Amino acid sequence: MDLSLTENDLAFQKDVRAWLAKILPEGHAARGKNLFTQTREETAWWQKQLHEAGWGASAWPVEFGGTGWSESQRSIFNDECARSEAPMQSPFGVTMVGPVLYTFGTDAQKQRHLPGILDGSVFWCQGYSEPGSGSDLASLRTLAIRDGDDYVVNGQKIWTTQAHWADWIFCLVRTSTEGKPQQGISFLLIDMKTPGVEVKPIYTIDDEHHLNEVYFSDVRVPAENLVGEENQGWTYAKFLLTHERIGIANTGATRVGIKNIETVHHYLANQEGNDYDKSSISRKIAELTIRLDALSALESRALAAEKDSINSMVLPLPMKLLGTHLQQDVADLAVEMMDYSAMPVQNKGFGSFGGQNDEHYRSRGPGITSGMLSGRASTIYGGTSEVQRGIMSKFVLGL
In order, the DSSP letters of 302-352 are HHHSPTTSHHHHHTHHHHHHHHHHHHHHHHHHHHHHHGGGGSEETTTEEEE
* Secondary structure (3-state) at 68: coil
Instruction: Check 80, 130, 244, 299 and give the catalytic one.
Output: 244
Q: CB neighbours (10 Å) of residue 105?
A: 23
Query: How many alpha carbons fall within 13 Å on the CB side of residue 176?
Result: 16
CA angle 179, 185, 189 (to 5 degrees): 165
Catalytic-residue membership of 80? no
- Find residue 146's DSSP bridge partners: 151
Contact 213, 160 (CB under 8 A): yes
- CA separation for the pair 251, 322 (Å, rounded): 10
In Å, what is the CA distance from 110 to each residue of 97, 101, 145, 156? 11, 6, 24, 27
CA distance 247 to 323: 10
Question: What is the 3-state composition of the chain as percent helix, strand, coil, each rounded to the nearest 5?
Answer: 50, 15, 30
Name the CA dihedral angle for 360, 362, 366, 372, rounded to a multiple of 10 degrees.
Answer: 90
**Residues marked as catalytic:** 244
